[in-house]
Amino acid sequence: MGLILPNGLQAQNTTQSPYSNFGIGELGGGEFSQITAVGGLSQTAGSRYQNSALNPATLGLLRYSSLDFGFHGTTGKITAMNKRRDVNSGGFSYLNMAFPTMNKSFLTGSYVDSNGRTKPKLLKINMGTAFGLSPVSAVGFNYTLSDSTILRHDVYHNGGGGLNRFYLAHAIQIANRLSIGYQASYLFGQLRDFSVFNLNDSGYFMRFEDQRSIQISGWQHRLGVHLNFNTGKFHHLLGGSMLWNRNTTGTQSRLVRTYSSGYGGYPSYKDTVLSKVSQKGSITLPDGFAAGYSLERPGKWRIGTEYRVEQWDRFSAFYTGGNFAARSTWGIGLNINPEAAARKIGARNRVPVEWRMGYRNTQTQNRFNTTNGILQIEERAYTVGVGIPVSRRYFDNSFLRSHLNITLEYLDRGGKAATGAGLAREQYLRLILGVSLGDVWFDRNKYN
């Protein structure tokens, strides 16, 4: 899978958005289906059965091993200048393997309880580790621009590819309260752009074809923290993380040729105008931070909110210019029956279904000078989801849980403001199917 999957990720087009033509493509994705369903609340999403790919500190809460993977499919429409285009896309969403690596109590002293009995003081230490693969950005666009200012001509644009990351993360939790984690990610991928310049009155005898390919690699780091404390029946969860990128570079290859339409419509190349191979340069990807809070009634419900910022106004790359803005996201979410204990339903003990819903608002990094002034593209996402559990009993009478997670997301990018400014408005309906498999590793057999 390690040899085959990365190549497949580079080849797929998981989006058809014209906004993916800027920077490193359309951002987002990579988070698990069950987390996307609650508005993307990743900073406080840790539990005994799952971690978050965007806050490594949540690994400190893990008590069972888990394998998470998911896929998505998207259908929708793009409207601009009273024209409409229907689009469909889909592909791989994420792959994550996480497991606890330590769950021990250390003797630190003793104390005398109210009954006069001496009891040991114990310090609980828990550790968790994870590795995985997920997309960072996706490029996929296909459109034509026409201009008659001097000479009537068309420019056809087509692009694909994107960035992915392979990550390794570890966290330590102290006294079942404070968890600190670190994640290192290797970024890799390819951005491809293909364009054709055509003079309409040339009889299709002479066109310019511009092929550009950029290989990108670098390192991304995250430092996360997670804190939980109890007040009677309620749990308060606080989480946050810092993101920074280092040593990101790119290698560009570019080929510009003239051609005419040959027999059967196939191109007949006439001359090479420009050929550049292995032009290297540096890329500055943005740093960022995130913070979130959730209130939980264990086994009943969890409600929370989150805020994230990435400094895309500091983005720079040798292969492109741009007028980018800081990217900010806030979201709210509700989860009903999180980690609920098994209940007797009918004649059998069953784990109840989890229900999820959320809202996410993003001021994206893309901004444009329009006749109405500077417009920063906005995204609004409404999500609902369900987690269908499959459980089995473990030796200590606890339940190992696996889930089929189904998330439905409605995304509106640009909104009426983009339509009024003559830009594209995108409306998508996205289905995310995720599987979360729970297991126990590294435990000795209790019975032969």
Say how far residue 201 (Cα) sits from the centre of its chain: 46
What is the average pLDDT score of the chain?
87
Q: What is the pLDDT of residue 16?
A: 86
d(CA 290, CA 328): 10
What does the pLDDT look like over 37-68, one tens digit per residue? 999 999 999 998 899 999 999 999 999 999 99
User: CA distances (Å), 339 to each of 11, 102, 343, 349, in order?
Assistant: 38, 21, 12, 15
What are the backbone angles phi and psi of residue 230, rounded to the nearest 5°? -110, 140
Which of the listed ranges 2-11, 23-32, 154-163, 322-331 does the model predict with the highest average pLDDT? 322-331
Q: Is pLDDT at 261 greater than 70 in this prediction?
A: no
Q: Which two tokens stand for residue 368?
A: 């444009």
CATH class in words for 5-439: mainly beta
- For residue 394, name the pLDDT band (cuts at 50, 70, 90): low
E strands, 262-398, are 267-284, 288-297, 301-310, 316-317, 327-336, 343-345, 348-350, 354-370, 373-393
- For residue 10, name the pLDDT band (cuts at 50, 70, 90): very low
- For residue 215, name the pLDDT band (cuts at 50, 70, 90): very high
- For residue 227, name the pLDDT band (cuts at 50, 70, 90): very high
User: CA distances (Å), 283 to each of 20, 106, 248, in order?
Assistant: 17, 46, 5
What are the backbone angles phi and psi of residue 43, rounded to the nearest 5°? -75, -25
CB atoms closer than 10 angstroms to residue 168: 14
- For residue 344, name the pLDDT band (cuts at 50, 70, 90): low
DSSP type of residue 337 = S
Return the percentage of the chain with pLDDT > 90, whole number. Answer: 55
d(CA 350, CA 353): 9
Q: Is pLDDT at 252 greater than 80 in this prediction?
A: yes
Which of the listed ranges 61-75, 252-266, 337-351 does the model predict with the highest average pLDDT? 61-75
Q: Is pLDDT at 9 greater than 50 in this prediction?
A: no
Q: Could you tell me the residue ranges of all domains in the chain?
A: 5-439
Q: Is pLDDT at 5 greater than 70 in this prediction?
A: no
d(CA 60, CA 158): 44
Q: Which two tokens stand for residue 217?
A: 């690699």
Q: What is the pLDDT of residue 346?
A: 61
Q: Is pLDDT at 199 greater than 90 in this prediction?
A: no
As a whole number, mean pLDDT of residues 175-192 equals: 95
- For residue 258, name the pLDDT band (cuts at 50, 70, 90): confident
- For residue 312, name the pLDDT band (cuts at 50, 70, 90): very high
As a whole number, mean pLDDT of residues 437-442 equals: 82
Q: What is the pLDDT of residue 7?
A: 45
Q: What is the pLDDT of residue 262?
A: 60
Alpha carbons within 13 A on the beta-carbon side of 424: 19
Q: What is the pLDDT of residue 6?
A: 46
- For residue 3, name the pLDDT band (cuts at 50, 70, 90): very low
User: CA distances (Å), 378 to each of 81, 411, 431, 445, in order?
Assistant: 18, 10, 21, 54
As a whole number, mean pLDDT of residues 299-323 equals: 91
As a whole number, mean pLDDT of residues 141-154 equals: 79
Q: Say if residues 354 and 402 touch (Cβ distance below 8 Å).
A: no
- For residue 370, name the pLDDT band (cuts at 50, 70, 90): confident
Q: What is the pLDDT of residue 301?
A: 94
Q: What is the pLDDT of residue 242?
A: 97
Q: What is the pLDDT of residue 56?
A: 97
d(CA 406, CA 400): 20
As a whole number, mean pLDDT of residues 394-422 equals: 87
As a whole number, mean pLDDT of residues 290-315 equals: 95
Q: Is pLDDT at 4 greater than 70 in this prediction?
A: no
As a whole number, mean pLDDT of residues 72-77 equals: 93
Q: What is the pLDDT of residue 201?
A: 59
Q: What is the pLDDT of residue 231?
A: 84
